[in-house]
Amino acid sequence: MNPYLDITEEVADALHAGLPVVALESTIISHGMPWPRNLETALAVEDAIRKEGAVPATIAIINGRLKVGLSREELTLFSNSSLHPAKVSRRDLPIVVAQNGNGATTVASTMIIASMAGIRFFATGGIGGVHRGAELTWDISADLDEFARTDVAVVCAGAKAILDLAKTMEYLETKGVPVIGYRTSELPAFYSRESGVMLSQRADDPMEIARLLHAKWSLGLSGGAVIANPVPIEYSMTKNEIDAAIEQALEELAEKRIKGAAVTPYLLARVAEITGGDSLETNIALVINNAHLAARIAIAYEQMSEK
Ligand code: PSU
Ligand code: MN
């Protein structure tokens, strides 16, 4: 086992016994939601996974240690920002470890650490992607290259329309990453169920997704997959409601000349502020919804592997 990893007893036991485990990221907690709703959500998401019969493993970096599974106290310290965690993607991981620092893991770095621990399933809210105007800025999230290289399937509610969703899909196709719509043929756009961007794969039950992943990895085709699970209808927001907020946030971004890793947190925070409390409720509902699906896929996958 990698000497930098600290796996909790609950997660280690589950992995030894071949039980289904679902990874969770920590950037969504520290940089994505306000206190104390972030802690409530982190606990509710873990609970959803346990109720399905799988084991949750929230991933973060504390004092330079790669944590797989957090105690309630650690989750609290992460949520109320007493640990002042930096946002850590693939690029930043060695730096935080070398400095014995605290880090909130993005989709990319959560995949890396999950994979080190032997976890193949991961639930989150939204993934990073190709930003609008990337033809000039070259701003493409490191999440996309991680899908191409690390064997972890990520259940998300698509990607926010702060991104160029069509370019994001083109990039994933180039990199050989399957994007599977769960009961949809369209890429969901996080707050809303529609984006107008069509998907090449659709699956209507968790076992179908488990079979597809099993085939991919058995063929030696390394890398992950994106499982796009639309937000439940009762929590979805209209495109009009969201589009205006996104346009405003993008204009401010340009005015303030914000660049690099700060772009995504800025846009997420501004869209949440502009849309008010509604978007937070939507955000929480979709993460919990994704946790349920990720657990079901992990369970279906373990059932297949037993045969
Ligand atoms: N998109 C969301 N919510 C999030 C993120 C993205 O709707 O919380 C976070 C995730 O941790 C994701 C990261 O991996 O932002 C992407 O950041 P960047 O674009 O800098 O790679
Ligand atoms: Mn970026």
Q: Of the residues 67, 146, 160, 302, which is catalytic?
A: 160
20 lines ligand 1 (CB under 6 A): no
Q: What is the pLDDT of residue 172?
A: 98
Q: What is the pLDDT of residue 177?
A: 98
125 lines ligand 1 (CB under 6 A): yes
Centre of ligand 2 to C-alpha 124, Å, is: 18
Structure tokens at 107: 């989709």
pLDDT tens sequence for the chain (307 residues) = 899 999 999 999 999 999 999 999 999 999 889 999 999 999 999 999 999 999 999 999 999 999 999 999 999 999 998 999 999 999 999 999 999 999 999 999 999 999 999 999 999 999 999 999 999 999 999 999 999 999 999 999 999 999 999 999 999 999 999 999 999 999 999 999 999 999 999 999 999 999 999 999 999 999 999 999 999 999 999 888 889 999 999 999 999 999 999 999 999 889 989 988 788 899 999 999 999 999 999 999 999 987 6
Does residue 25 have an active-site annotation?
A: yes
141 lines ligand 1 (CB under 6 A): yes
Centre of ligand 1 to C-alpha 87, Å, is: 9
Give the pTM.
Answer: 0.97
Does residue 40 have an active-site annotation?
A: no
Pick the CATH number of 5-306 from 3.10.580.10, 3.30.70.360, 3.30.930.10, 3.40.1790.10: 3.40.1790.10
202 phi and psi angles, rounded to 5 deg: -135, 145
Q: In this structure, is the dihedral angle defined by the CA atoms of residues 56, 51, 15 and 70, taken in order, positive or negative? A: positive
Q: What is the pLDDT of residue 272?
A: 87
Nearest CA to ligand 1 atom 16: 128
Centre of ligand 2 to C-alpha 224, Å, is: 20
271 phi and psi angles, rounded to 5 deg: -65, -40
Q: What is the pLDDT of residue 307?
A: 62
DSSP codes, 199-238: -SEEESSHHHHHHHHHHHHHTT--S-EEEE-PPPGGG---
**Hey, is 115 helix, strand or coil?**
helix
Q: Which ligand is nearest to the CA of 246?
A: 1
